[in-house]
Chains A and B, each alone.
Chain A
Amino acid sequence: DTGVSQDPRHKITKRGQNVTFRCDPISEHNRLYWYRQTLGQGPEFLTYFQNEAQLEKSRLLSDRFSAERPKGSFSTLEIQRTEQGDSAMYLCASSLLRREAFFGQGTRLTVV
């Protein structure tokens, strides 16, 4: 079963360091999403790709965040100069047009 895969599952980093997460969507899915989930909350939308084009970025995504999806396949989410407030679960999801989104297991980031 080739579901949505995220790597790493866990990341502990020191404040000020850069981190990069990877997401491999379900292969035939043209839509890819990043969400962030903090403790006790539901996931919040960060950004959306249709194929390789990034079509929307949430205001939650500060200038320190950048996401790419080269060639419309896997995606990366980079956080520069991490802050303690960036500690959260970062969830990736993919879908076909107008269909339900399938999520990966997430990357749990802890900034110390």
Chain B
Amino acid sequence: AQKITQTQPGMFVQEKEAVTLDCTYDTSDQSYGLFWYKQPSSGEMIFLIYQGSYDEQNATEGRYSLNFQKARKSANLVISASQLGDSAMYFCAMREGGGGSNYKLTFGKGTLLTVNP
């Protein structure tokens, strides 16, 4: 089974509107972390936002927020007030386990976001 599922291969949004990118995950660990990264055409993976499994509040970083629904195992990224520069691939990733064993990330296949002027 896929550990990270991103069901939207591509999404379109109008500039200045909000968009939600979906991510569901599968783990039996109680302690885990969820990440979103942005990958522009230049190739670099840019860290956007992090949510820990024990965090009670949804994470927010500027225009990015993470809609964390633990029971549904979903961690959707919400981008508010989209900008043309937001056009990129977006990857959801998970780091399982606690203590020193949690280091590697498992990524989904990504969602290509296009922001239209």
Contact = CB atoms under 8 A, between A and B. Distances in A.
B79 to A, nearest CB: 18
Nearest to B42: A105
A97 B33 CA distance: 13
A93 B45 contact: yes
Interface string B93-104: 100000010111
A106 B43 CA distance: 7
A45 interface: yes
Interface in A85-109: 89, 91, 93, 95, 97-98, 100-106, 108
B68 interface: no
A94 B104 CA distance: 11
Contacts, number: 53
Interface residues of A, number: 26
Contacts of A74: none
A44 B35 contact: no
A44 to B, nearest CB: 7
Interface of B: 4, 35, 37, 42-47, 50, 91, 93, 100, 102-110
Closest 9 CB pairs of A and B: A42-B107, A103-B45, A105-B44, A45-B104, A106-B43, A100-B47, A42-B91, A43-B107, A105-B43
